[in-house]
């Protein structure tokens, strides 16, 4: 009887350890755009739904080789999945990152390049057009106007009026979007159209960092052929998975969940005797080399620019770092996360909507959660 009891206890313990180990995995939700009766964009024999699915499966295969990563697919076959259901799959999985993969198209068949979107309100005509095309799938769903609160994909005000939820994830969404764009430059050499904001129905209910990737234009003959080829899909998958692994390394700390990070940050604020001043003078503030330093990354470019205010919409205290063939531009420095948030607001007010906070220690980049600790 005693032996049986010990066996049961051992099984319970092993089950608990296994569950604990599973919970420590970084969960990536991969969403292959369109599918089934929804073909997406089609030009020159290039079909968006097929390219998106094949590339997503390749991304998943790379990520699944990592023992501490779990991949969740909204679809892994050629089926039609409603937009809300994609969000339900993602949220039920309690994922850490949501990536919706698509191909772009334009009546102007000379348009080319890749771009990555985060959720946001925009009046930019080009961004609105991309969102309009991707949101048009909603018309294939029954009672979509009731289901999506009267949403009409043909009206710009519907796109601009999408509620922006989970604003706390915006910085992280921009961070992974920027990494993907940088990786595209390295792996594909195709035109970098940058990180942008627009209103996408598929992203609106996602409760984690979320992005929509437009890998290139199927309407462009050369780029479309690249997207539709095994070689092209391999390179795109390698770029996206590399960016995900880099993001995970810098931003995900399984031992310190987000709620714990927030508690730490609140405790640090309580300890302070004086409130942090809103006016930050990064150029005059000295930070010891071995301290944690926060800064705001405002741009990435293949061109080197002189770090003068006139080149950066009037912002001062700009620094630049070269990484491979890219130049990264940063605004200001601060040794407190709260002060860095003020710098971020200043950068965004100047028009750098895709800016985000980074942290370093001893000159090496660390995750924000680690920096706060």
Q: How does DSSP assign 6-48, residue by residue? A: HHHHHHHHHHHHHHHHHHTSEEEEEEE-SBTTB---EETTEEH
Alpha helix stretches (DSSP H) within the chain: 2-23, 48-63, 83-92, 125-135, 144-147, 156-160, 170-187, 221-227, 230-251, 258-271, 337-349, 368-372
Give the Cα-Cα-Cα angle 356, 365, 251 (nearest 5 degrees): 60
Q: What is the pLDDT of residue 6?
A: 52
Look up residue 7 and give its two tokens: 């066996």
Q: What is the pLDDT of residue 264?
A: 40
Q: Given CA atoms 281, 282, 286, 287 in this order, what sign does their dihedral have?
A: positive
Beta bridge partners of 360: 293, 365
Give the burial class of 199: count Cβ atoms within 10 A of its Cβ; 0-12 exposed, 13-18 middle, 19 or more buried: buried
Q: What is the pLDDT of residue 83?
A: 84
Cβ atoms of 212 and 203 closer than 8 Å: yes
181-230 pLDDT, tens digit per residue, is 999 999 999 999 998 877 777 787 788 899 999 999 999 999 999 999 99
Q: What is the pLDDT of residue 163?
A: 42
Q: What is the pLDDT of residue 75?
A: 96
- Among the ranges given (137-146, 174-183, 337-346), the one the predictor scored with the smallest mean pLDDT: 137-146
108-130 average pLDDT score: 72
Q: What is the pLDDT of residue 12?
A: 42
Q: What is the pLDDT of residue 141?
A: 54
The yes-or-no verdict on residue 124 having pLDDT over 50 is no
The yes-or-no verdict on residue 111 having pLDDT over 70 is yes
Q: What is the pLDDT of residue 45?
A: 96
28-46 average pLDDT score: 95
Look up residue 147 and give its two tokens: 């289901």
The yes-or-no verdict on residue 351 having pLDDT over 50 is yes
Distance of CA 81 to the CA centre of its chain: 22
How are beta strands 364-366 and 356-361 bridged, if at all?
A: antiparallel
């Amino acid at each position: 009887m005693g032996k049986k009891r010990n066996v049961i206890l051992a099984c319970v313990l092993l089950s608990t350890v296994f569950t604990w180990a599973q919970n420590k995995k970084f969960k990536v939700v991969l969403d292959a755009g369109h599918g089934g009766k929804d073909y997406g964009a089609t030009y020159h024999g290039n079909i968006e739904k097929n390219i998106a699915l094949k590339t997503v499966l390749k991304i998943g295969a790379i990520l699944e080789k990592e023992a501490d990563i779990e991949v969740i697919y909204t679809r892994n076959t050629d089926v039609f999945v409603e937009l809300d259901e994609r969000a339900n799959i993602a949220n039920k999985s309690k994922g850490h990152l949501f990536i919706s993969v698509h191909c772009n198209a334009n009546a102007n068949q000379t348009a080319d390049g890749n771009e990555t979107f985060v959720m946001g309100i925009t009046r930019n005509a080009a961004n609105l057009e991309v969102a309009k095309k991707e949101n048009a799938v909603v018309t294939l769903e029954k009672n979509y106007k009731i289901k999506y609160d009267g949403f009409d994909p043909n009206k710009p005000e519907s796109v601009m009026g999408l509620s922006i939820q989970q604003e706390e994830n915006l910085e992280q969404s921009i961070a992974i979007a920027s990494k993907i764009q940088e990786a595209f430059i390295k792996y594909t050499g195709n035109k970098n159209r940058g990180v942008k904001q627009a209103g996408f129905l598929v992203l609106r209910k996602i409760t984690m960092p979320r992005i929509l990737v437009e890998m290139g234009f199927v309407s462009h003959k050369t780029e479309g052929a690249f997207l539709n080829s095994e070689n092209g899909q391999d390179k795109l998958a390698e770029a996206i998975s590399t960016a995900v692994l880099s993001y995970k390394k810098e931003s995900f700390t399984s031992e310190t969940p987000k709620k714990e990070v927030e508690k730490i940050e609140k405790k640090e604020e309580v300890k302070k005797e004086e409130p942090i001043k809103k006016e930050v003078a990064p150029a005059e503030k000295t930070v010891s080399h071995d301290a944690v330093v926060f800064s705001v990354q405002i741009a990435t470019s293949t061109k080197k620019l002189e770090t003068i205010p006139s080149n950066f919409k009037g912002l001062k205290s700009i620094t630049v770092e070269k990484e491979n063939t890219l130049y990264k531009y940063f605004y200001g420095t601060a040794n407190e996360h709260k002060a860095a948030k003020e710098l971020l607001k200043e950068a965004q007010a100047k028009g750098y909507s895709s800016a985000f906070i980074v942290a370093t220690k001893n000159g090496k980049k660390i995750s924000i959660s680690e920096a706060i600790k």
